[in-house]
């Protein structure tokens, strides 16, 4: 089995404080994985190490068969943009650009052109933002910003989507739409790793992992007849 992603015995310390302790996981194509755990437990740290945004203290992250730790920063960056779509806790949009332009930013480095714009409009429409295409971030609500960021993450159909609290700040109907859209991407072979405090969202993922005191445990679900 070729995994999209392997995390092998990853540890992370900030000074004397050990946040992650020999954490391992694998992500298969088409699968979703939810990570839960208490606030401050290291979930965002783990996600950013997986997404090659931050170095582990020890251990390895293998992305699409390639050991990312051994790569030069420029090759790591290339691997990151080729493989990952990110939905951060804070939307991190560019304030001088409209919603549509923000979604199109990942396509600026590719030759996706008109097709990217069609997809960007389609994604924003799907998230209920068809009338906000030309609004700038400061003219959008937190929930709307989150949806723009999600559309941006999905634009280029990444192999792995990393989503940190993707349904935070959203009303239930939009949260359900966002969750549907994220989970649907697995149908086309992408992998999804999401961090959430929402047990309902976690339960929709194929695999549930719980981070506790730096260690990752698989949670088995109770199946009711
Ligand atoms: N750059 C840093 N330097 C020192 N400590 C840090 C740094 N980044 C994060 N931490 C600490 O690491 C711990 C884990 O933070 P992290 O954001 O990964 O937790 P989390 O599980 O995502 O929390 P939440 O659910 O509240 O978002 C926290 O105690 C935090 O203070």
Is 159:4 a contact under the CB 8 Å cutoff? Answer: yes
In the three-class reduction of DSSP (H, G, I as helix; E, B as strand; rest coil), residue 118 is classed as: helix
The answer to whether the CB of 39 is under 6 A from ligand 1 is yes
Q: Which atom of ligand 1 is nearest to 165's Cα?
A: 27
pLDDT tier at 222 (50, 70, 90 boundaries)?
low
Q: Which atom of ligand 1 is nearest to 211's Cα?
A: 21
Write down the residue that tokens 């493989």 correspond to. 83
The answer to whether the CB of 14 is under 6 A from ligand 1 is yes
* Residue among 30, 72, 55, 54 at smallest CA distance from 191: 30
Q: Which of 44, 47, 169, 216 to mutate for ligand 1's pocket (most ligand atoms within 8 Å of CB)?
A: 44
pLDDT 10s digits, 135-187: 999 999 888 888 899 899 999 889 999 999 988 878 888 888 888 888 988 88
Beta bridge partners of 60: 8
Rounded to the nearest angstrom, the distance between the alpha carbon of 35 and the centre of ligand 1 is: 15
Write down the residue that tokens 């609500």 correspond to. 141
**Could you report the predicted ipTM of this complex, rounded to two decimals?**
0.96
The answer to whether the CB of 44 is under 6 A from ligand 1 is yes
Report domain extents, the chain: 5-219
The answer to whether the CB of 51 is under 6 A from ligand 1 is no
* Residue among 122, 164, 169, 120 at smallest CA distance from 143: 169
Q: Which two tokens stand for residue 165?
A: 């609290």
Q: Among residues of the chain, what percentage have pLDDT more than 70?
A: 97
- Provide the pLDDT for residue 136: 97
Q: Distance (Å, rounded) from C-alpha 178 to C-alpha 150? A: 8
Is 61:50 a contact under the CB 8 Å cutoff? Answer: yes
Q: Which of 13, 37, 39, 40 to mutate for ligand 1's pocket (most ligand atoms within 8 Å of CB)?
A: 40
In the three-class reduction of DSSP (H, G, I as helix; E, B as strand; rest coil), residue 51 is classed as: coil
The more confident residue out of 110 and 178 is 178
Is 208:219 a contact under the CB 8 Å cutoff? Answer: yes
Which residue minimizes the CA distance to atom 14 of ligand 1?
Answer: 42
Residue 225 scores a pLDDT above 50: no
Domain 5-219 falls under CATH 3.90.25.10:
no
The answer to whether the CB of 214 is under 6 A from ligand 1 is no
Angle at 118 between CA 190 and CA 108, to 5 degrees: 75
Which residue minimizes the CA distance to atom 24 of ligand 1?
Answer: 39
The answer to whether the CB of 13 is under 6 A from ligand 1 is no
- Mean pLDDT estimate for the chain: 90
Q: Which of 23, 45, 50, 54 to mutate for ligand 1's pocket (most ligand atoms within 8 Å of CB)?
A: 45
Q: How far apart are the first and last CA of the chain?
A: 32
Q: Which two tokens stand for residue 75?
A: 């090759």
The answer to whether the CB of 43 is under 6 A from ligand 1 is yes
pLDDT 10s digits, 49-102: 999 999 999 999 999 889 998 888 889 988 998 899 998 877 789 999 999 999
Radius of gyration of the chain from its Cα atoms, rounded to whole angstroms? 17
Cβ-proximal residues to 142 (8 Å cutoff; 6+ apart), any chain: 91, 169
* Residue among 225, 167, 218, 195 at smallest CA distance from 34: 195
pLDDT 10s digits, 191-210: 999 999 999 999 999 999 99
Q: Which two tokens stand for residue 27?
A: 């992500």
């Amino acid at each position: 089995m070729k995994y999209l992603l392997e995390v092998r015995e990853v540890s992370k310390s900030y000074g004397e404080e050990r946040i992650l302790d020999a954490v391992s996981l694998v992500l298969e194509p088409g699968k979703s994985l939810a990570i839960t755990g208490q606030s401050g437990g290291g979930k965002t740290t783990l996600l950013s190490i997986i997404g090659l945004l931050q170095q582990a203290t020890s251990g390895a992250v293998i992305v699409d068969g390639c050991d990312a730790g051994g790569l030069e920063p420029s090759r790591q960056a290339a691997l990151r943009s080729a493989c990952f779509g990110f939905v951060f806790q804070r939307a991190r949009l560019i304030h001088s650009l409209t919603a549509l332009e923000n979604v199109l930013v990942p396509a600026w480095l590719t030759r996706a052109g008109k097709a990217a714009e069609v997809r960007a409009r389609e994604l924003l429409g799907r998230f209920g933002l068809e009338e906000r295409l030309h609004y700038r971030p400061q003219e959008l609500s937190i929930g709307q910003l989150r949806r723009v960021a999600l559309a941006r993450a999905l634009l280029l159909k990444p192999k792995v989507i990393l989503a940190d609290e993707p349904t935070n700040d959203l009303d239930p109907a939009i949260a359900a739409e966002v969750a549907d859209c994220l989970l649907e991407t697995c149908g086309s072979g992408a992998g999804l790793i999401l961090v959430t405090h929402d047990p309902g969202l976690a339960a929709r993922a194929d695999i549930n992992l719980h981070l506790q005191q730096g260690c990752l445990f698989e949670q088995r679900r109770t199946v009711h007849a």
